[in-house]
Amino acid sequence: MPIDETAEFKPIRIAVLTVSDSRTRETDKSGGYLCEALQELGHTLADYALVPDDQGAILGRLHQWVDDQSINCILITGGTGVTGRDVTPEALAVLGGKEIPGFGELFRWISYRTIGTSTIQSRAIAYIVRSTYIFAMPGSTGACADAWEHILVHQLDSRFKPCNFVDLIGRLRES
């Protein structure tokens, strides 16, 4: 992928949310992976939290972070499956904003190479809410690695060309 080595890297502030009824900070490998990966690239971990698979709990945390204008991006792991407890996409729809359909489409295409047709069970999705990017991916560490290593590491790098999400941050509130 084309990284402009002459350009300056612009770090952003990213929060990580794990949605799970069964994980703790000690057992949350997916959230831990995302926290580590974003910091290795040079971004700042703005916050990290775990909430249960509950739409109200998800919305409560997301409202706090979206209202905090110092947070540029939120990475969510978990709650994107098809079971009755998987409600992350529904919470994001209630939160509103502008959907970025290409994220889920590209994620499933990449995931297909790893897990085949099982990727159809993923409802990975992304939104822009006010001036905050939100990317929701499945709860497995492998899925988080696919999303980070093949999509987000590039789109959250200001040196990635021809375009990236970081360069657009200042224009997200335009109407």
Which pLDDT does position 175 carry in this prediction? 65
For every one of its 175 residues, what pLDDT tens digit does the chain have, with 9 covering 90 and above?
699 989 999 999 999 999 999 998 999 999 999 999 999 999 999 999 999 999 999 999 999 999 999 999 999 999 999 999 999 999 999 999 999 999 999 999 999 999 999 999 999 999 999 999 999 999 999 999 999 999 999 999 999 999 999 999 999 877 6
Provide the whole-model pTM. 0.96
CB 128 within 8 A of CB 169: no
* Residue partners of 58: CB distance under 8 A and separation at least 6: 17, 19, 51, 76, 79, 87, 88, 91
Which helix (H) or strand (E) covers residue 164, if one does?
none
What span, in angstroms and rounded, lies between the C-alpha atoms of 125 and 101?
A: 7
Which helix (H) or strand (E) covers residue 162, if one does?
none
CB 124 within 8 A of CB 107: yes
Which pLDDT does position 1 carry in this prediction? 60
In the beta sheet, which residues pair with residue 47? 15
29-32, long-range: CB within 8 Å, 24+ apart, which pairs? 29/141, 30/77, 30/78, 30/139, 30/140, 30/141, 30/143, 30/144, 31/77
Cα within 13 Å of Cα(160), Cβ side: 17
DSSP 27: T
Confirm or reject CATH 3.40.980.10 for domain 13-167, answering yes or no. Answer: yes
